[in-house]
Structure 1
Amino acid sequence: MKSESRQGDNEFWTEIKMLSKFRHEHLVSLIGFCNDGQERLLIYQYMAKGTVSDHLYKLNRNGRTNPPLSWELRLKISIGAARGLYYLHSRHRVIHRDVKSSNILLDENWIAKISDFGLSKMGPANDSFSHISTNVKGTFGYLDPEYFLTRKLTRKSDVYAFGVVLFEILSGRPAIDIRLEEEQHSLAGWARHCVREGKVDRLIDHSLMGQISPACLKVFVGIAGRCLHTQPHGRPAMADVVMSLELALVLQQNKDSIELRTS
Structure 2
Amino acid sequence: MGGFSRASCFLCLGIPPPPRAEPRRAAVARTFALDELAAFALDELAAATRNFRDDSSVVGREANLYKAYLKSINKIVNIKLQHAVRTSGPSEQLNREFLAHVLTLSALRHPNVVNLIGFCADGEYKILVHEHVPLGSLEDHLHPRDRSPAGKAPLDWNTRMNIAARVAKGLEYLHHKGVVYRKSMGSSDILLGDGYHPKLSQYGLADLGRLLAEDNKDWSTEFWGSTTIAPETFVTGKVTMESNVYSFGGLLLEMITGRRPIDPAQPAAEDRNLIAWATRLMKDRSQFRRMADPALQGRYPSMDLEEALTVASMCVHQQPAMRSPIGTVVTALSRLAYDVDPPESSHPAAPS
TM-score normalised by the shorter chain: which range applies?
0.7 to 0.9
Q: 1:131 to 1:163 in 2, by over 3 A?
A: farther
Query: What's the CA shift for 1:76?
Result: 0.5
Query: What's the CA shift for 1:45?
Result: 1.4
Match of 1:163 in 2: 249
Match of 2:308 in 1: 220
Using the alignment, how far apart are the partners of 1:65 and 1:188 within structure 2? Answer: 29
Maintained 8 Å contact 2:179/2:205? no
Aligned residues: 243
Q: 1:153 to 1:41 in 2, by over 3 A?
A: closer
1:50 to 111, 115, 136: 136
Using the alignment, how far apart are the partners of 2:213 and 2:254 within structure 1? Answer: 27
The sequence identity of aligned pairs, in percent, is 32
Q: Which residues of 2 match residues 233-248 of structure 1 at below 5 A?
A: 233-248=321-336
Query: What's the CA shift for 1:28?
Result: 0.2
The superposition leaves residues 4-23 of structure 1 with CA deviations (integer Å, 9 ceiling, x where unpaired) of 96965879666523321111
Is 1:107 the counterpart of 2:193 in the alignment?
yes
Maintained 8 Å contact 1:12/1:118? no
Maintained 8 Å contact 1:93/1:122? yes
TM-score of the two chains, using structure 2 as the length reference = 0.62
Maintained 8 Å contact 1:95/1:121? yes
Q: 1:66 to 1:38 in 2, by over 3 A?
A: farther
The superposition leaves residues 59-92 of structure 1 with CA deviations (integer Å, 9 ceiling, x where unpaired) of 3465x473201110111100110000000112x1
Query: What's the CA shift for 1:244?
Result: 0.6
Q: 1:183 to 1:8 in 2, by over 3 A?
A: farther
2:178 to 93, 109, 115: 93
Maintained 8 Å contact 2:250/2:316? yes
Match of 1:255 in 2: none
Q: 1:146 to 1:61 in 2, by over 3 A?
A: closer
Using the alignment, how far apart are the partners of 1:80 and 1:14 within structure 2? Answer: 27
Match of 2:103 in 1: 17
Q: 1:200 to 1:57 in 2, by over 3 A?
A: same
TM-score of the two chains, using structure 1 as the length reference = 0.81
Larger radius of gyration: 2
Using the alignment, how far apart are the partners of 1:119 and 1:185 within structure 2? Answer: 28
Equivalent residue letter for 2:138: V
Match of 1:127 in 2: none
Match of 1:256 in 2: none
77-86 or 97-106, larger mean C-alpha shift: 97-106
Is 1:200 the counterpart of 2:288 in the alignment?
yes
Q: 1:202 to 1:192 in 2, by over 3 A?
A: same
1:74 to 160, 166, 172: 160
Structure 2: which 5+ residue stretches go unaligned? Answer: 1-51, 55-62, 65-80, 85-93, 339-352
Query: What's the CA shift for 1:159?
Result: 0.2
Maintained 8 Å contact 1:80/1:112? yes
The superposition leaves residues 36-72 of structure 1 with CA deviations (integer Å, 9 ceiling, x where unpaired) of 345443322121111111100143465x473201110
Using the alignment, how far apart are the partners of 2:263 and 2:312 within structure 1? Answer: 19
Maintained 8 Å contact 2:182/2:206? yes
Higher relative contact order (CA 8 A, sep 6+): 1
Is 1:31 the counterpart of 2:117 in the alignment?
yes
Structure 1: which 5+ residue stretches go unaligned? Answer: 125-129, 251-263
